[in-house]
Structure 1
Amino acid sequence: MNLLDSLKERIMIGDGATGTLLYSYGIDRCFEELNLTHPDDIFHIHEEYLKAGAEVIQTNTYGANYIKLNRYGLEERVKEINSEAVKIARKAAKKDAFVVGTIGGIHGARFYSELSEEIKRSFREQLYCLLFEHVDGLLLETYYDLDELITVLKIARQVTNIPIITNVSMHEPGVLENGILLSEAIKRLEDLGADVVGVNCRLGPYHVLKALETVPIPEKAFLSAYPNSSLPEFRNGKLLYKSEPEYFKKFAAHFRDEGVRLMGGCCGTTPAHIRSMKEGIQGLIPVKKKKVKEQARIEIGETKKLDELTLFEKVKTKRSIIVELDTPKDLDTRKFFEGAKALKEAGIDGLTVADNSLASPRICNKTMASLVKRDIGLSSLVHVTCRDRNLIGMQSHLMGLHTLGIRDILAITGDPTKIGDFPGATSVFDVTSFDLIKLIKQCNEGISFSGKSLKQKTNFHVAAAFNSNVHNIGKSAERLEKKIQFGADYVLTQPIFSREKIIETWEATKHIKAPIYIGIMPLVSSKNAEFLHNEVPGIKLTDETRKRMAVAKSPEQALQIGLDIAKKLIDTAIEYFNGIYLITPFIRYELSVELAKYIQQRTKELDVKKQTQFALS
């Protein structure tokens, strides 16, 4: 009798956590390597779960793939580690239990913009290793990313007919991180050929049960539940879980009532928890019908549209000028607000405020943008980096921006911490700029990063950064296309210092429909020019520009040359692009005021010229 035949007849008990037990023994390294170095320890864990009543045990291979083993220098031992894991489990199970080969999600609880070919190759390699050892089934577990799970399920189903268990993981009960309801996700997995579908990890029995109450009993598959023992607690540098096995006895019966046929445990569970589950279902037969609790779909309200146009809306139809003005590194804000007021009077469309540029701490750009909007009446495009905030802080930050009425965001990676004031500071990078764009657009659907309803849609317009100052601008354009694919609405370029590069940028991006702001930065001295060229990532100056700045005989002359270079670049930029993005050096806002007025003057001259030509034609 195979696994599926057994599930047709009765409720079956799986095992619990392997990593939790190893961690409790003081082992804090690659658990999968122990299949080779300490096989008796792994055998003993299997044996303890079998004695507790487990009928389905999983191989110690959760992270035994090329990508995860690469962290420990073990990437060349994928076959050996997986093969030994199956042999150890087989030896323990004998003929008394089924052995399923475990393959964990690679994305985990982090957010990624796409499923790479590297992940697919890594999955295939581990899959074939497990199949070669003739496992009784596959357990695909801890998949927060439904797209990843669907992809690997399809790959597995193409090459094998053995039973496949697919367990998703949730941040919030009943909903996956992209907002898909658990019931919908399980139905999709069932339709794609999964034999057992369910939930594992992250949540304890209470919330797993609440989620399963909204899930109908599948027609062609069986339900599974592998909850954590509890939410984790961090104490004395270690993750700890509440351990009350008796609690699992009660929930085992409840899981049965919701149609679960295969139940076990995930993080924090031990053989004692599995024994309690076994006792909880003693004498119970499977249920084939249940009353499904309808999951309340929270209505997501539309955000009231602001009276003024956003920068994205302006640049789509007319000449638009934005100016970057760095917030102060100290608490003296006078010059910043003087500059913002002068730029407002000069007629610019908005400020752009960087997010601790060059990895140096400045007054929070969200705060300054809010004050500029309130006191001066000037909108801002707020930069948001992936460097400084984890997903919790990022979600909070975006909700704050929305609440303040800030609608334009530039999503960027952020300069590395090693170039800033605190080179030893930790860079977070929970997501890339691609992922951040995607997540911001998810908020525009009223869905938080965890999949939970925000109860209102944000209406952010997202700008993406584009670097023209590269050897292969075509590759840079491909990255930009990808950002637009993930939801970027418009584009800001790094500062450009040659007419030829502006034209090259237009040629490389003319097929892209998203509006583009061309970055122009006035130079103030030869030292400034050399620093930008040699030390600032993403900026390159032409030899001609550097020579012109070098011949200046006084600071005043250098400033005039810098403005003259900027104006000539503007002349070219406005022939090809609607948007001009002025980067103010050293908060010398008077330079940006002069250039803003020059742009307006040249725009009027060009408009008159076009009207005259039209009249003559």
Structure 2
Amino acid sequence: MNLNERLLIFDGAMGTYYASSCNNPLPKCELANIHDKKTILNIHKEYIKAGAGAIKTNTFGANKISLECDFDVMKEAIVSGYEIAKEATEGTDVLVFADIGPIPFLEKVDLWVGYKEIIDIFLSLGASNFIFETFSSDEYLIEISEYIKEKNSKAFILTEFAVSPEGVTRLGKSGKKLLNTMLKAKTIDACGFNCFSGPYHLLQYSKTLDIKDKTISMMPNSGYPSMINNRVFFDNTKEYFAEQMLEIARQGVTILGGCCGTTPEYIKEMVDKLKGLEVHNILNDGRQIETTEGLKQEKLQEKKALTEEVKDEKRVNKNPLLEKLERGEKIIAVELDPPINTEIDFFISGAKRLKGQGIDAITIADCPIARARVDSSLLACKLKRELDITAIPHMTCRDRNINATKALLLGLNVEGINNVLVVTGDPIPSADREEIKGVFSFNSSILSSYIRELNETTFSSPFNVCGALNLNVRNFSNELEKAQKKIDNGITMFLTQPVLTEEAMENLKLARKKLNAKILGGIIPVVSYRNACFMNNEISGINVSEEIIERYKDVSKEEATRLAVEISTGIATEMSSYVDGFYIITPFKRIDIVSEIVSNIKNNIFTYN
């Protein structure tokens, strides 16, 4: 199927159109293949009558996880869905594409096995055209395409990703990079974008892509969605949609269709508009897309001007932390908890005291244990602006979606904050879950990948992205695998959980051998016997050795303070050869203890090194 100089027009939405076509639609439209075949058949026929040259089977979410079913029900939905589509195209030249959407990720579920099950069913039915749509990453797609081609070398495989208007998927992946990866794969015939964005956004995005001599698809939503009475509506008209698709075709996109909110009327309007442009598609007489050399040159000039404009505006803020580490010097970062109210005198005075001692950075937790405190990013800006202190705000994935996260990162970048610690975040305490909802639309690994992409495309000064490393987990090899994935996604520095056991120290040594990243060893002073027991039993990610706990039994506050400094300094000395610096967590506002530990590190460890 050669589409470099011709158009293939797909159908539009199935899910949203099915829901609007029935008085009592099934909540999972793929199950209508079993229980409401006539409606699905009629929808396919409507799209064919509208002029679609290819239709997708009603199987986008036909997997065991999405349908919450067993294999037999899933198979019945796929088989029936394929048969309905084939029936709809009888006596026509319309192509049937086996539609496969992303299988939702669940722990202990092998997604590769899940995809193979679905593909094997389609192959057994004689399917030779496949569309993998609305994906957010390329995970498994190349392996899947290779598997299909081994079974059917003549199969046509189209992959599509859902990107925001900025060209980033919900998993923080760059649409351009995904496109290039797919097009380099010998077993993938075409690639493009669908869903998430409307036609205008995908038109603008298409102008930034190098798609010459490539088979590219664009199947946008009908427009940008709005909420009315808790239901999603797409307000744009079919005429507007068709106009934008006309311009997308002029960019050289040769596979066109619609996603959420589009209907047969949208596809008919688009087909009519493209006919008026005198294009070659499977429905008419073979004339080429109206693309002039002038349009190509205009596009190149526009792209060049935009690049120069961005280059001129680029400014880079220095990053003292990275500069010091690159010189081979160790650094000290101290964590101060943000206040639970607007009284910040202690926080500011503590930061001033630590700056006077020459610490390199203040880290600020982002609403630890899911309780609201003063925003870490705002405090970081205050420290930078008023005290010229390097701050590392923590940024959790619990409380913000991708839009809010990007907005916050833009603000930090403007303020000259260029170090962040990304963490998934503590879950909401169970008693609060009915009133307070965590977001968790991505995790720290995905967030780091997203920031890396923004570093390359958006930020005037790149962020140094830090991550957390738990030295106290039982399965540390699994933690190392997660850490490596974080490094692959852009994390360059790890702040570890506190070391208070021999096991944690050994894990730190192993991390130094295995991970190609900077490591700040975690230290938290134990201030009392009660505190030691509490941390050991109540705080996730912290283990305290029995030996340390025993040393605090029946001692005075003064003696406990001395022990806190002594033990913490000893741990810092032991870990010094395996870290690039120290990450000291302040307990219960005990700046006095942290201050002594900092002095000991500077006067003894740094001097010795």
- Superposition TM-score tier, normalisation by shorter sequence: 0.7 to 0.9
SS class of match (1:228): coil
Structure 1 position 390, deviation (Å): 0.8
- 1:194-593 to 2 correspondence within 5 Å? 194-195=188-189, 198-209=192-203, 219=213, 224-242=217-235, 244-247=237-240, 263-281=256-274, 284-286=278-280, 287-288=287-288, 290-291=291-292, 292=296, 293-294=299-300, 296-297=303-304, 298-299=306-307, 300-301=310-311, 304-306=315-317, 309-310=320-321, 313-314=324-325, 317-418=328-429, 424-445=435-456, 447=457, 454=458, 456-499=459-502, 501-552=504-555, 554-593=556-595
* Alpha carbons of structure 1 residues 246 and 510: separation in structure 2 relative to 1, 3 Å: closer
Residues 99-129 of structure 1 deviation map (CA, whole Å, 9 limit, x = unaligned): 5233344289xxx9xxx99443333222221
* Alpha carbons of structure 1 residues 583 and 165: separation in structure 2 relative to 1, 3 Å: closer
Residues 406-442 of structure 1 deviation map (CA, whole Å, 9 limit, x = unaligned): 1222121111112797775222222221122222222
Structure 1 position 519, deviation (Å): 1.1
Partners of 1:211 and 1:367 lie apart in 2 by 33
Percentage identity across paired residues of the two chains: 31
Q: CA-atom RMSD, angstroms?
A: 3.5
Structure 1 position 532, deviation (Å): 0.8
TM-score between both structures, scaled by the size of structure 1: 0.84
SS class of match (2:338): coil
TM-score between both structures, scaled by the size of structure 2: 0.85
Partners of 1:244 and 1:477 lie apart in 2 by 51
Partners of 1:339 and 1:577 lie apart in 2 by 25
**For residue 611 of structure 1, what is the aligned residue in structure 2?**
none
Structure 1: which amino acid aligns with 2:123? L
The answer as to whether partners of 1:466 and 1:480 remain within 8 angstroms in 2 is yes
Residues 152-204 of structure 1 deviation map (CA, whole Å, 9 limit, x = unaligned): 4444333321333444444238898755659x937963873555555433344
* Alpha carbons of structure 1 residues 170 and 368: separation in structure 2 relative to 1, 3 Å: closer
Partners of 2:559 and 2:137 lie apart in 1 by 58
Structure 1 position 376, deviation (Å): 2.6
The answer as to whether partners of 2:324 and 2:330 remain within 8 angstroms in 1 is no
The answer as to whether partners of 2:365 and 2:393 remain within 8 angstroms in 1 is yes
SS class of match (1:582): strand
**For residue 10 of structure 2, what is the aligned residue in structure 1?**
14
Structure 1: which amino acid aligns with 2:56? Q
* Alpha carbons of structure 1 residues 377 and 270: separation in structure 2 relative to 1, 3 Å: closer
1:44 counterpart (9, 34, 42): 42
Structure 1 position 524, deviation (Å): 1.7
Residues 279-325 of structure 1 deviation map (CA, whole Å, 9 limit, x = unaligned): 44558451436233336153344854545622573486223222111
* Alpha carbons of structure 1 residues 587 and 35: separation in structure 2 relative to 1, 3 Å: same
SS class of match (1:585): coil
Structure 1 position 398, deviation (Å): 1.4
Structure 1: which amino acid aligns with 2:340? K
The answer as to whether partners of 1:350 and 1:378 remain within 8 angstroms in 2 is yes
User: Where in structure 2 are there 5+ consecutive unaligned residues?
Assistant: 281-286
Partners of 2:573 and 2:445 lie apart in 1 by 32
Structure 1 position 257, deviation (Å): 5.4
Q: Bigger shift: 149-158 or 37-46?
A: 149-158
The answer as to whether partners of 2:142 and 2:188 remain within 8 angstroms in 1 is no
Partners of 1:209 and 1:358 lie apart in 2 by 43
Residues 8-64 of structure 1 deviation map (CA, whole Å, 9 limit, x = unaligned): 998654322111122223536222122122222222322332343434222101122
Partners of 2:28 and 2:567 lie apart in 1 by 57
The answer as to whether partners of 1:144 and 1:169 remain within 8 angstroms in 2 is yes
Structure 1 position 481, deviation (Å): 2.7
* Residue 172, structure 1, aligned to residue 174, structure 2: no
Paired residues in the alignment total: 584
The answer as to whether partners of 2:420 and 2:463 remain within 8 angstroms in 1 is yes
Partners of 2:496 and 2:13 lie apart in 1 by 49
Structure 1 position 593, deviation (Å): 0.6
Partners of 1:215 and 1:273 lie apart in 2 by 25
Partners of 1:357 and 1:146 lie apart in 2 by 33
SS class of match (1:417): coil
**For residue 29 of structure 2, what is the aligned residue in structure 1?**
31
The answer as to whether partners of 1:190 and 1:218 remain within 8 angstroms in 2 is no
2:79 counterpart (65, 79, 83): 83
The answer as to whether partners of 1:150 and 1:189 remain within 8 angstroms in 2 is no
SS class of match (1:444): helix
Partners of 2:531 and 2:34 lie apart in 1 by 58
Structure 1 position 578, deviation (Å): 4.0
The answer as to whether partners of 1:104 and 1:143 remain within 8 angstroms in 2 is no
Structure 1 position 244, deviation (Å): 3.1
Q: Structure 1 runs of 4+ off > 6 angstroms?
A: 7-10, 173-177, 213-218, 419-423
The answer as to whether partners of 1:65 and 1:122 remain within 8 angstroms in 2 is yes
* Alpha carbons of structure 1 residues 536 and 38: separation in structure 2 relative to 1, 3 Å: same
* Alpha carbons of structure 1 residues 135 and 278: separation in structure 2 relative to 1, 3 Å: same
* Alpha carbons of structure 1 residues 312 and 366: separation in structure 2 relative to 1, 3 Å: farther
Structure 1 position 336, deviation (Å): 0.9
SS class of match (2:584): strand
Structure 1 position 599, deviation (Å): 1.4
